[in-house]
Protein backbone atom coordinates (compact mmCIF):
# COMPACT_ATOMS: atom_id res chain seq x y z
CA UNK A 1 0.00 0.00 0.00
CA UNK A 2 1.50 3.35 -0.91
CA UNK A 3 1.73 6.12 1.64
CA UNK A 4 -0.12 8.44 -0.78
CA UNK A 5 -3.45 7.04 0.36
CA UNK A 6 -2.47 7.70 3.98
CA UNK A 7 -1.45 11.28 3.18
CA UNK A 8 -4.70 11.77 1.27
CA UNK A 9 -6.73 10.48 4.24
CA UNK A 10 -4.87 12.16 7.10
CA UNK A 11 -2.71 14.92 5.58
CA UNK A 12 0.58 13.52 6.90
CA UNK A 13 2.98 10.63 6.51
CA UNK A 14 2.51 7.37 8.46
CA UNK A 15 5.00 6.41 11.19
CA UNK A 16 4.80 2.67 10.54
CA UNK A 17 3.31 0.06 8.23
CA UNK A 18 2.51 -3.49 9.30
CA UNK A 19 1.44 -6.56 7.28
CA UNK A 20 -0.16 -9.81 8.37
CA UNK A 21 -1.29 -12.67 6.12
CA UNK A 22 -4.44 -14.72 5.74
CA UNK A 23 -4.21 -18.50 5.97
CA UNK A 24 -5.21 -21.78 4.44
CA UNK A 25 -5.57 -24.70 6.79
CA UNK A 26 -4.09 -27.85 5.25
CA UNK A 27 -5.86 -30.05 7.81
CA UNK A 28 -7.13 -29.96 11.40
CA UNK A 29 -10.55 -28.32 11.12
CA UNK A 30 -12.73 -27.45 14.10
CA UNK A 31 -10.08 -28.93 16.36
CA UNK A 32 -8.62 -25.69 17.73
CA UNK A 33 -11.39 -25.13 20.28
CA UNK A 34 -11.02 -28.75 21.39
CA UNK A 35 -7.37 -28.38 22.45
CA UNK A 36 -6.40 -30.29 19.30
CA UNK A 37 -3.95 -30.00 16.41
CA UNK A 38 -4.05 -27.70 13.38
CA UNK A 39 -1.76 -27.45 10.36
CA UNK A 40 -2.24 -24.12 8.56
CA UNK A 41 0.03 -22.08 6.31
CA UNK A 42 0.14 -18.31 5.93
CA UNK A 43 -0.71 -17.32 2.34
CA UNK A 44 0.40 -14.39 0.15
CA UNK A 45 -2.84 -12.48 0.73
CA UNK A 46 -2.37 -9.92 3.45
CA UNK A 47 -3.91 -7.19 5.56
CA UNK A 48 -1.88 -3.98 5.64
CA UNK A 49 -2.10 -1.20 8.20
CA UNK A 50 -0.40 2.19 7.99
CA UNK A 51 -0.40 4.15 11.24
CA UNK A 52 0.67 7.46 12.73
CA UNK A 53 0.63 8.40 16.38
CA UNK A 54 -1.74 11.15 17.56
CA UNK A 55 -1.34 13.43 20.54
CA UNK A 56 -4.83 12.61 21.87
CA UNK A 57 -6.53 9.28 22.73
CA UNK A 58 -8.59 8.96 19.56
CA UNK A 59 -8.35 6.18 16.99
CA UNK A 60 -9.32 7.32 13.52
CA UNK A 61 -9.81 4.31 11.27
CA UNK A 62 -10.06 4.62 7.50
CA UNK A 63 -10.25 1.81 4.95
CA UNK A 64 -8.60 2.06 1.58
CA UNK A 65 -11.73 0.35 0.22
CA UNK A 66 -13.97 3.20 -0.77
CA UNK A 67 -17.08 1.25 0.17
CA UNK A 68 -16.12 1.10 3.86
CA UNK A 69 -17.19 3.92 6.14
CA UNK A 70 -14.50 5.42 8.35
CA UNK A 71 -14.78 5.17 12.12
CA UNK A 72 -13.58 7.17 15.09
CA UNK A 73 -13.34 5.85 18.64
CA UNK A 74 -12.09 7.19 21.96
CA UNK A 75 -9.60 4.84 23.58
CA UNK A 76 -10.66 6.09 27.02
CA UNK A 77 -14.21 4.77 26.68
CA UNK A 78 -13.64 1.86 24.31
CA UNK A 79 -15.81 -1.16 25.22
CA UNK A 80 -17.45 -4.10 23.42
CA UNK A 81 -20.57 -2.97 21.60
CA UNK A 82 -19.14 0.52 20.97
CA UNK A 83 -18.67 -0.09 17.27
CA UNK A 84 -19.92 -2.51 14.59
CA UNK A 85 -18.72 -3.85 11.27
CA UNK A 86 -15.17 -4.22 10.02
CA UNK A 87 -13.86 -1.40 12.22
CA UNK A 88 -14.78 -3.47 15.30
CA UNK A 89 -11.87 -5.81 14.49
CA UNK A 90 -9.54 -2.79 14.56
CA UNK A 91 -11.00 -1.15 17.67
CA UNK A 92 -11.29 -4.54 19.39
CA UNK A 93 -7.59 -5.17 18.91
CA UNK A 94 -6.76 -1.80 20.51
CA UNK A 95 -9.14 -2.72 23.35
CA UNK A 96 -7.49 -6.12 23.89
CA UNK A 97 -4.00 -4.60 23.90
CA UNK A 98 -5.12 -1.99 26.45
CA UNK A 99 -6.65 -4.71 28.59
CA UNK A 100 -3.26 -6.43 28.62
CA UNK A 101 -1.65 -3.25 29.96
CA UNK A 102 -0.26 -1.85 26.70
CA UNK A 103 -0.36 1.96 26.72
CA UNK A 104 -2.00 2.28 23.28
CA UNK A 105 -1.67 5.83 21.96
CA UNK A 106 -4.24 7.61 19.83
CA UNK A 107 -3.55 6.88 16.17
CA UNK A 108 -4.61 7.48 12.60
CA UNK A 109 -4.95 4.10 10.88
CA UNK A 110 -5.40 3.25 7.21
CA UNK A 111 -6.25 -0.38 6.55
CA UNK A 112 -6.06 -2.22 3.26
CA UNK A 113 -5.47 -5.73 2.05
CA UNK A 114 -6.19 -8.40 -0.48
CA UNK A 115 -7.46 -11.27 1.67
CA UNK A 116 -10.92 -11.83 0.21
CA UNK A 117 -13.60 -11.33 2.87
CA UNK A 118 -15.91 -14.21 3.65
CA UNK A 119 -13.73 -16.63 1.69
CA UNK A 120 -12.69 -18.66 4.73
CA UNK A 121 -9.11 -17.40 4.35
CA UNK A 122 -9.05 -15.53 7.62
CA UNK A 123 -9.26 -11.89 6.59
CA UNK A 124 -10.36 -10.91 10.11
CA UNK A 125 -7.39 -12.47 11.90
CA UNK A 126 -5.06 -10.91 9.34
CA UNK A 127 -6.58 -7.49 10.06
CA UNK A 128 -6.44 -7.94 13.84
CA UNK A 129 -2.80 -9.02 13.75
CA UNK A 130 -1.71 -6.23 11.39
CA UNK A 131 -3.42 -3.68 13.66
CA UNK A 132 -1.77 -5.24 16.71
CA UNK A 133 1.67 -5.02 15.11
CA UNK A 134 1.21 -1.37 14.13
CA UNK A 135 -0.21 -0.29 17.52
CA UNK A 136 2.47 -2.17 19.46
CA UNK A 137 5.11 -0.36 17.44
CA UNK A 138 3.49 3.03 18.12
CA UNK A 139 3.26 2.15 21.82
CA UNK A 140 6.93 1.11 21.89
CA UNK A 141 5.83 -2.23 23.32
CA UNK A 142 7.16 -5.66 22.45
CA UNK A 143 5.06 -8.73 23.25
CA UNK A 144 5.80 -12.40 22.59
CA UNK A 145 4.24 -13.54 19.30
CA UNK A 146 1.95 -15.99 21.08
CA UNK A 147 0.60 -13.17 23.27
CA UNK A 148 -0.10 -11.07 20.17
CA UNK A 149 -2.04 -13.97 18.65
CA UNK A 150 -4.02 -14.56 21.86
CA UNK A 151 -4.88 -10.86 22.19
CA UNK A 152 -6.05 -10.77 18.56
CA UNK A 153 -8.25 -13.80 19.32
CA UNK A 154 -9.56 -12.04 22.44
CA UNK A 155 -10.52 -9.04 20.28
CA UNK A 156 -12.55 -11.32 18.05
CA UNK A 157 -14.08 -13.37 20.91
CA UNK A 158 -14.89 -10.64 23.40
CA UNK A 159 -15.18 -7.42 21.37
CA UNK A 160 -16.53 -8.57 18.01
CA UNK A 161 -18.40 -11.50 19.56
CA UNK A 162 -17.20 -14.34 17.31
CA UNK A 163 -16.25 -17.40 19.41
CA UNK A 164 -13.35 -18.48 17.15
CA UNK A 165 -10.43 -20.65 18.21
CA UNK A 166 -6.82 -19.61 18.04
CA UNK A 167 -5.67 -21.16 14.74
CA UNK A 168 -6.10 -18.16 12.44
CA UNK A 169 -4.28 -15.64 14.63
CA UNK A 170 -1.41 -18.08 15.20
CA UNK A 171 -1.12 -18.76 11.46
CA UNK A 172 -1.06 -15.03 10.72
CA UNK A 173 1.63 -14.25 13.30
CA UNK A 174 3.68 -17.48 13.26
CA UNK A 175 3.57 -18.42 9.57
CA UNK A 176 6.91 -19.17 7.92
CA UNK A 177 7.81 -19.16 4.21
CA UNK A 178 8.15 -22.70 2.88
CA UNK A 179 6.56 -24.23 5.99
CA UNK A 180 3.33 -25.37 7.56
CA UNK A 181 2.59 -24.45 11.14
CA UNK A 182 1.82 -27.47 13.30
CA UNK A 183 0.15 -26.01 16.36
CA UNK A 184 -0.84 -27.97 19.43
CA UNK A 185 -3.64 -25.67 20.58
CA UNK A 186 -3.36 -26.95 24.14
CA UNK A 187 0.33 -26.26 24.76
CA UNK A 188 0.38 -23.52 22.07
CA UNK A 189 3.73 -24.99 21.09
CA UNK A 190 4.34 -24.17 17.40
CA UNK A 191 6.39 -26.43 15.13
CA UNK A 192 7.30 -25.47 11.57
CA UNK A 193 7.07 -28.35 9.11
CA UNK A 194 8.87 -27.92 5.76
CA UNK A 195 6.34 -27.79 2.91
CA UNK A 196 8.09 -27.19 -0.38
CA UNK A 197 5.55 -28.21 -2.99
CA UNK A 198 7.41 -26.57 -5.90
CA UNK A 199 10.33 -29.01 -5.76
CA UNK A 200 7.79 -31.87 -5.70
CA UNK A 201 6.09 -30.49 -8.80
CA UNK A 202 2.88 -30.07 -6.79
CA UNK A 203 0.48 -27.18 -6.22
CA UNK A 204 -2.04 -26.56 -3.48
CA UNK A 205 -4.90 -24.87 -5.32
CA UNK A 206 -7.37 -22.78 -3.36
CA UNK A 207 -10.89 -22.77 -4.80
CA UNK A 208 -12.78 -19.76 -3.46
CA UNK A 209 -16.40 -20.75 -4.01
CA UNK A 210 -17.47 -17.11 -3.57
CA UNK A 211 -20.47 -18.46 -1.73
CA UNK A 212 -21.37 -16.20 1.18
CA UNK A 213 -21.05 -17.69 4.65
CA UNK A 214 -24.48 -18.76 5.80
CA UNK A 215 -25.43 -18.81 9.49
CA UNK A 216 -21.73 -19.03 10.22
CA UNK A 217 -21.70 -17.48 13.64
CA UNK A 218 -24.71 -19.35 15.00
CA UNK A 219 -23.67 -22.69 13.53
CA UNK A 220 -20.04 -22.26 14.61
CA UNK A 221 -21.12 -21.50 18.17
CA UNK A 222 -23.48 -24.48 18.08
CA UNK A 223 -20.61 -26.82 17.07
CA UNK A 224 -18.49 -25.47 19.91
CA UNK A 225 -21.34 -25.96 22.36
CA UNK A 226 -21.86 -29.57 21.20
CA UNK A 227 -18.17 -30.33 21.72
CA UNK A 228 -18.26 -28.83 25.21
CA UNK A 229 -21.43 -30.77 26.05
CA UNK A 230 -19.89 -34.01 24.77
CA UNK A 231 -16.70 -33.56 26.77
CA UNK A 232 -18.76 -33.06 29.95
CA UNK A 233 -20.73 -36.25 29.22
CA UNK A 234 -17.50 -38.12 28.51
CA UNK A 235 -15.83 -36.76 31.64
CA UNK A 236 -12.80 -35.34 29.82
CA UNK A 237 -11.40 -31.79 29.95
CA UNK A 238 -11.77 -31.54 26.16
CA UNK A 239 -12.30 -33.82 23.17
CA UNK A 240 -8.52 -33.88 22.76
CA UNK A 241 -8.53 -36.22 25.74
CA UNK A 242 -10.79 -38.90 24.26
CA UNK A 243 -8.48 -41.91 24.41
CA UNK A 244 -10.70 -44.49 22.73
CA UNK A 245 -13.28 -43.55 20.13
CA UNK A 246 -15.28 -46.78 20.46
CA UNK A 247 -15.70 -46.31 24.21
CA UNK A 248 -16.68 -42.66 23.69
CA UNK A 249 -19.32 -43.67 21.11
CA UNK A 250 -20.83 -46.19 23.52
CA UNK A 251 -21.02 -43.54 26.26
CA UNK A 252 -23.09 -41.14 24.11
CA UNK A 253 -26.77 -41.77 23.28
CA UNK A 254 -27.18 -38.79 21.04
CA UNK A 255 -26.42 -39.50 17.38
CA UNK A 256 -25.46 -35.89 16.62
CA UNK A 257 -23.03 -35.70 19.54
CA UNK A 258 -21.53 -39.01 18.45
CA UNK A 259 -20.91 -37.60 14.98
CA UNK A 260 -19.34 -34.39 16.28
CA UNK A 261 -17.00 -36.32 18.58
CA UNK A 262 -16.08 -38.75 15.80
CA UNK A 263 -15.06 -35.86 13.58
CA UNK A 264 -12.87 -34.16 16.18
CA UNK A 265 -11.13 -37.33 17.34
CA UNK A 266 -10.44 -38.66 13.83
CA UNK A 267 -9.41 -35.21 12.57
CA UNK A 268 -6.77 -34.84 15.28
CA UNK A 269 -5.32 -38.19 14.24
CA UNK A 270 -5.38 -37.17 10.56
CA UNK A 271 -3.29 -34.09 11.37
CA UNK A 272 -0.65 -36.23 13.04
CA UNK A 273 -0.77 -38.76 10.18
CA UNK A 274 -0.29 -35.98 7.60
CA UNK A 275 2.72 -34.64 9.51
CA UNK A 276 4.22 -38.15 9.68
CA UNK A 277 3.80 -38.60 5.91
CA UNK A 278 5.30 -35.18 5.17
CA UNK A 279 8.25 -35.89 7.42
CA UNK A 280 8.74 -39.19 5.60
CA UNK A 281 8.81 -37.28 2.30
CA UNK A 282 5.49 -38.71 1.01
CA UNK A 283 3.67 -35.52 0.06
CA UNK A 284 1.35 -37.17 -2.46
CA UNK A 285 0.42 -39.70 0.20
CA UNK A 286 -1.44 -37.06 2.23
CA UNK A 287 -4.15 -36.78 -0.45
CA UNK A 288 -6.52 -39.43 0.93
CA UNK A 289 -6.28 -37.90 4.41
CA UNK A 290 -7.30 -34.49 3.03
CA UNK A 291 -10.29 -36.07 1.34
CA UNK A 292 -11.19 -38.07 4.45
CA UNK A 293 -11.16 -34.81 6.39
CA UNK A 294 -13.67 -33.34 3.95
CA UNK A 295 -15.96 -36.35 4.19
CA UNK A 296 -15.86 -36.11 7.98
CA UNK A 297 -16.61 -32.37 7.92
CA UNK A 298 -19.43 -32.94 5.45
CA UNK A 299 -21.09 -35.95 7.03
CA UNK A 300 -20.18 -35.91 10.72
CA UNK A 301 -19.56 -32.25 11.47
CA UNK A 302 -22.08 -30.96 8.89
CA UNK A 303 -20.25 -27.73 8.06
CA UNK A 304 -19.84 -28.17 4.30
CA UNK A 305 -22.05 -26.68 1.61
CA UNK A 306 -23.18 -27.54 -1.91
CA UNK A 307 -20.48 -25.26 -3.34
CA UNK A 308 -17.70 -26.80 -1.24
CA UNK A 309 -18.82 -30.33 -2.13
CA UNK A 310 -18.90 -29.50 -5.85
CA UNK A 311 -15.40 -27.97 -5.53
CA UNK A 312 -14.01 -31.04 -3.79
CA UNK A 313 -15.73 -33.64 -5.96
CA UNK A 314 -14.80 -31.94 -9.24
CA UNK A 315 -11.19 -31.40 -8.11
CA UNK A 316 -10.88 -35.10 -7.27
CA UNK A 317 -12.39 -36.11 -10.61
CA UNK A 318 -9.86 -33.78 -12.28
CA UNK A 319 -6.98 -35.73 -10.76
CA UNK A 320 -6.29 -34.05 -7.41
CA UNK A 321 -4.57 -36.35 -4.88
CA UNK A 322 -6.88 -34.99 -2.21
CA UNK A 323 -9.27 -32.11 -1.63
CA UNK A 324 -11.19 -30.64 1.25
CA UNK A 325 -13.00 -27.57 2.50
CA UNK A 326 -10.72 -25.29 4.54
CA UNK A 327 -11.66 -22.96 7.39
CA UNK A 328 -14.95 -22.79 9.25
CA UNK A 329 -17.13 -23.96 6.35
CA UNK A 330 -20.69 -23.03 5.25
CA UNK A 331 -19.23 -21.48 2.11
CA UNK A 332 -15.75 -20.07 1.72
CA UNK A 333 -12.90 -22.03 0.17
CA UNK A 334 -11.72 -25.55 -0.62
CA UNK A 335 -8.19 -26.73 -1.33
CA UNK A 336 -6.91 -29.38 -3.74
CA UNK A 337 -3.45 -30.96 -3.94
CA UNK A 338 -2.56 -31.52 -7.58
CA UNK A 339 0.38 -31.99 -9.94
CA UNK A 340 1.43 -28.49 -11.04
CA UNK A 341 1.14 -29.62 -14.66
CA UNK A 342 -2.56 -30.38 -14.04
CA UNK A 343 -3.58 -27.14 -12.34
CA UNK A 344 -4.99 -25.54 -15.47
CA UNK A 345 -7.09 -28.57 -16.38
CA UNK A 346 -8.28 -28.77 -12.77
CA UNK A 347 -9.39 -25.15 -12.89
CA UNK A 348 -11.25 -25.75 -16.14
CA UNK A 349 -12.97 -28.84 -14.72
CA UNK A 350 -13.97 -27.11 -11.47
CA UNK A 351 -15.32 -24.08 -13.36
CA UNK A 352 -17.35 -26.40 -15.59
CA UNK A 353 -18.74 -28.30 -12.60
CA UNK A 354 -19.82 -25.03 -10.98
CA UNK A 355 -21.52 -23.91 -14.19
CA UNK A 356 -23.28 -27.29 -14.54
CA UNK A 357 -24.55 -27.01 -10.97
CA UNK A 358 -25.84 -23.49 -11.64
CA UNK A 359 -23.30 -21.95 -9.24
CA UNK A 360 -21.39 -18.68 -9.64
CA UNK A 361 -17.89 -18.98 -11.06
CA UNK A 362 -15.28 -19.71 -8.36
CA UNK A 363 -11.95 -17.89 -8.02
CA UNK A 364 -8.56 -19.59 -7.72
CA UNK A 365 -5.23 -18.91 -6.09
CA UNK A 366 -2.18 -20.99 -5.27
CA UNK A 367 -1.38 -21.47 -1.59
CA UNK A 368 2.34 -20.88 -1.16
CA UNK A 369 3.49 -20.52 2.46
CA UNK A 370 4.76 -17.03 3.37
CA UNK A 371 6.17 -15.45 6.53
CA UNK A 372 3.81 -14.35 9.26
CA UNK A 373 3.29 -10.82 10.39
CA UNK A 374 5.95 -8.15 10.22
CA UNK A 375 6.88 -4.61 9.37
CA UNK A 376 5.90 -3.39 5.90
CA UNK A 377 8.49 -2.29 3.42
Pairwise CA distance, residues 339 & 336, whole Å: 10
Pairwise CA distance, residues 297 & 317, whole Å: 19
Q: Is 173 annotated as a binding residue?
A: no
Question: CB under 6 A: which stretch of 29-37, 56-64, 89-97, 173-181 binds ligand GAF?
Answer: 29-37
Nearer to ligand GAF, 164 or 207 (CB): 164
Is 168 tagged catalytic?
A: yes
Judged by CB under 6 A, does residue 128 bind ligand GAF? Answer: no
CA dihedral 155, 220, 216, 164 (to 10 degrees): 20
Find the binder of ligand GAF among 30, 45, 176, 298 (CB under 6 A): 30
Task: Tell me the CB-side half-sphere exposure of residue 284, using CA atoms within 13 A.
Answer: 10
Give the interface size with ligand GAF as a residue count (CB under 6 A): 10
Q: Is 156 annotated as a binding residue?
A: yes
Find the binder of ligand GAF among 27, 109, 132, 164 (CB under 6 A): 164
Q: Which of residues 168-187 bind ligand GAF (CB under 6 A)?
A: 168
Give the nearest distance from C-beta 228 to ligand GAF in angstroms.
14
Q: Strand, coil or helix: what is 107?
A: strand
- For residue 189, is it left (φ>0), alpha (ψ between -120 and 50) or beta? beta
Give the nearest distance from C-beta 358 to ligand GAF in angstroms.
27
Judged by CB under 6 A, does residue 307 bind ligand GAF? Answer: no
Give the nearest distance from C-beta 124 to ligand GAF in angstroms.
8
Give the nearest distance from C-beta 267 to ligand GAF in angstroms.
9
Pairwise CA distance, residues 324 & 40, whole Å: 13
290, 334 Cβ separation under 8 angstroms: no
Give the nearest distance from C-beta 239 to ligand GAF in angstroms.
13
Judged by CB under 6 A, does residue 92 bind ligand GAF? Answer: no
Give the nearest distance from C-beta 342 to ligand GAF in angstroms.
27
294, 270 Cβ separation under 8 angstroms: no
376, 46 Cβ separation under 8 angstroms: no
Pairwise CA distance, residues 23 & 40, whole Å: 6
* Residue 121 main-chain phi, psi, to 5 deg: -110, 15
Nearer to ligand GAF, 328 or 369 (CB): 328
Pairwise CA distance, residues 43 & 189, whole Å: 21
Pairwise CA distance, residues 26 & 85, whole Å: 29
Question: CB under 6 A: which stretch of 86-94, 111-119, 161-169, 190-198 binds ligand GAF?
Answer: 161-169
Q: Which of residues 192-211 bind ligand GAF (CB under 6 A)?
A: none
Provide the CA 252 distance to its chain's centre, in angstroms: 31
What residues does 202 pair with on adjacent strands? 339
Pairwise CA distance, residues 215 & 325, whole Å: 17
Give the nearest distance from C-beta 33 to ligand GAF in angstroms.
6
Find the binder of ligand GAF among 36, 113, 328, 372 (CB under 6 A): 328
254, 271 Cβ separation under 8 angstroms: no
Question: CB under 6 A: which stretch of 162-170, 234-242, 253-261, 280-288 binds ligand GAF?
Answer: 162-170
Nearer to ligand GAF, 228 or 339 (CB): 228
Q: Strand, coil or helix: what is 313?
A: helix
Question: CB under 6 A: which stretch of 28-36, 240-248, 310-318, 345-353 binds ligand GAF?
Answer: 28-36
Q: Is 108 annotated as a binding residue?
A: no
Q: CA quadruple 37, 42, 45, 50: dihedral positive or negative?
A: positive
| DSSP H or E segment with residue 325 | strand 322-326
Nearer to ligand GAF, 90 or 303 (CB): 303
Nearer to ligand GAF, 10 or 301 (CB): 301
**Which residue out of 108, 112, 168, 208 is catalytically annotated?**
168
Find the binder of ligand GAF among 17, 106, 322, 327 (CB under 6 A): 327
50, 3 Cβ separation under 8 angstroms: yes
Enumerate the known binding-site residues for substrate. Answer: 29-32, 220
Q: By CB under 6 A, name the binding residues for ligand GAF.
A: 29-30, 32-33, 164-165, 167-168, 327-328
Residues known to be catalytic: 168
Enumerate the known binding-site residues for Mg(2+). Answer: 124, 156
Amino acid sequence: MSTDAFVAAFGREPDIGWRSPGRVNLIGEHTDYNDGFVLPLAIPREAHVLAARRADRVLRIVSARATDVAAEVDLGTLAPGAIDGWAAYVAGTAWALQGHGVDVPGADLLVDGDVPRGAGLSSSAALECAVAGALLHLAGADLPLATVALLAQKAENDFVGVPCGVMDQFASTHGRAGHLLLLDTRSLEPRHIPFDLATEGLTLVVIDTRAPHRLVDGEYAARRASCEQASVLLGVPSLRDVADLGTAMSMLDDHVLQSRVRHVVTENQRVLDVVALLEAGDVRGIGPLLTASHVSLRDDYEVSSVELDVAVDSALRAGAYGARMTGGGFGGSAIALVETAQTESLRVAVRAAFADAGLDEPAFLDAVPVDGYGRLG
